[in-house]
Structure 1
Amino acid sequence: MEKRRIDNFMTIKELKIPLNNNTVATVTAYLRPQLYAGQTFPGLIICAGGSFTQLSERETVAGALAYYARGFNVFALHYSLLADYTPLYPQPLYELAATIAYLRKNAAKFKQQPHAIAMLGLSAGGHLVSALAGTWATVKLAEETQLDNEAIRPNAQLLAYPVTDLTSGWPKDFAEVKKITQTPELINTQKLVNQATPPTFIWNSQTDAAVAPSNTLNYVAALAKNKISFEAHTFSSGLHGTVLANELTARPQKGAADIDPHVATWFELSLQWLAQVLPAAKEQD
């Protein structure tokens, strides 16, 4: 396990979390220091986008540092990609479930609040996060991972310009969908929403040309139908993959188009929402 300290303040650890199928989940942990005895922190697991062919470093690092700076332990999951498995699923799902269980089991070591573990999925990472949000309580996933349902339960999910339906425009070809999953129920995570789905914060842009707005709108409709607490924001304009939508995450090739102060408000809104939702999740356990 690699361990680094930055100015005796931030601790960064590379975690290798064993799975029951003889593989491991790789996680970069950004851990906060205790400023007083007994201090603990909420946790956030980040699943970046990248079309399942890569993991966006902008989303991973910028997202991790932004939430870390606001009081979270942050865990960036380097989930498996298409180059690792064909079909890709269910391996990433197992890795995310194992990560939650590991953090909950080792909460004391990480000064982690065991009942305040949220997930953030961006773009394709949103498909993975919403897939777990819809399946964590199932007997099937518990049997396949050999993990207790309560151990893998996320307390909240955040979805940023997420892919939730693999047949709504991305990927373009159904042959590509079959490379991602050959399990019918994992194609459309909107259909997985049920009464066990955690509270959800979700946002997108109406002008997103890469991932159709229907991915968000139909997912919100499923949340409402199942009476899941949610907060949803569809911004009238904005590019796909803007992350924080400020100068820190702007892509050189996009320039000013990646900077949008209005879209950037999603981050502060998510923090306000998490402050409301995570204590409530803790009280329910």
Structure 2
Amino acid sequence: MIELHTPDQNPDSPGTVLVLAGGGYHDRAEHESVDVSRFLADHGVRAAWLDYPVAPARYPQALHLVLRAVAELRSHGPVAVLGFSAGGHLAGTAATATADELAAVGGLARPDAAVLCYPVVSMVDHPHLGSRMNLLGTEEDAPARALSVELRVDADTPPVFAWHTADDAHVGVEHSLALTAALRRHQVPVELHVYPHGRHGLGLADGLIDWTTPLLRWLGEQGIA
């Protein structure tokens, strides 16, 4: 049984956004799940958040749960995954789920769209070592390469909206740039916003960065809002 959490206000929108908080795969930040889901609901978008497993849980437990949650939510229409930092990595791996990963959960499908907010993308190039170790439990490069989102992108990857700050000192903007380059190589629609300043972990970034206005417009273009 998947325990999905929804805000008090859960409007009847065309699709659903599944929100995945960050936390380095060792925790989940409430302001990146509860607050974001409430914001979306307040703006007419059906939203839910998932307390996915973190360390000592390892790959693929969280990914499998996300894919099952996407399938459950799809009864309401198309589903976008929206993740922050390590949650962005989880959203990215769901959006690029391999045939073997999908088969392991009964042949389910990838989400219909993905929103990655200051995401961890690569596990081998400028890696966030804490996320890598918490997810994999090993320092070996082979499993890390297999979970580097930019190396998993293919022509069937769904459209992506991403944003980052240029001076993020925790997870460098190189992650979002590498992701965008990979998406462009495979002709996957992508919208990337890079803002000059802002610390890692901003969440909604109220009053600091307006990334939510373009997000709501983009979700509408994907048939989700």
Query: How many residue pairs align between the two structures?
Result: 221
Residue 196 of structure 2 is aligned with which of 228, 232, 236? 236
| TM-score, L = length of structure 2 | 0.90
Q: Which runs of 4+ in 1 moved over 4 A?
A: 31-34, 172-177
**Residue-by-residue CA offset, 1:104-153 (whole Å, 9 max, x unaligned):** 2xx2xxxx2x2x21110100001111011111xx43123211133xxx33
Within 1, Cα distance between the matches of 2:160 and 2:139? 24
Identity %: 27
Larger strand proportion, structure 1 or 2? Answer: 1
Q: Is the 8 A contact 2:161 2:191 kept in 1?
A: yes
Within 1, Cα distance between the matches of 2:43 and 2:26? 30
Q: 1:225 to 1:64 in 2, by over 3 A?
A: same
Q: 1:226 to 1:197 in 2, by over 3 A?
A: same
Map 1:29-178 → 2, pairs under 5 A: 29-30=6-7, 32=9, 40-83=13-56, 85=57, 88-104=58-74, 107=75, 112=76, 114=77, 116-135=78-97, 138-148=98-108, 152-167=109-124, 168-171=126-129, 178=136
After TM superposition, give the deviation of residue 68 of structure 1 in Å: 0.7
After TM superposition, give the deviation of residue 31 of structure 1 in Å: 6.5
Within 2, Cα distance between the matches of 1:186 and 1:46? 23
Residue 4 of structure 2 is aligned with which of 17, 23, 27? 27
Equivalent residue letter for 2:60:
P
Equivalent residue letter for 1:191:
L
After TM superposition, give the deviation of residue 197 of structure 1 in Å: 0.6
- Please list every run of 5 or more consecutive structure 2 residues that lacks an aligned counterpart in the other structure: none
Q: 1:142 to 1:173 in 2, by over 3 A?
A: closer
- In the other structure, the counterpart of 1:252 is none
After TM superposition, give the deviation of residue 277 of structure 1 in Å: 1.9
Q: Is the 8 A contact 2:82 2:117 kept in 1?
A: yes
Aligned CA RMSD, in angstroms, stands at 2.2
- In the other structure, the counterpart of 2:180 is 220
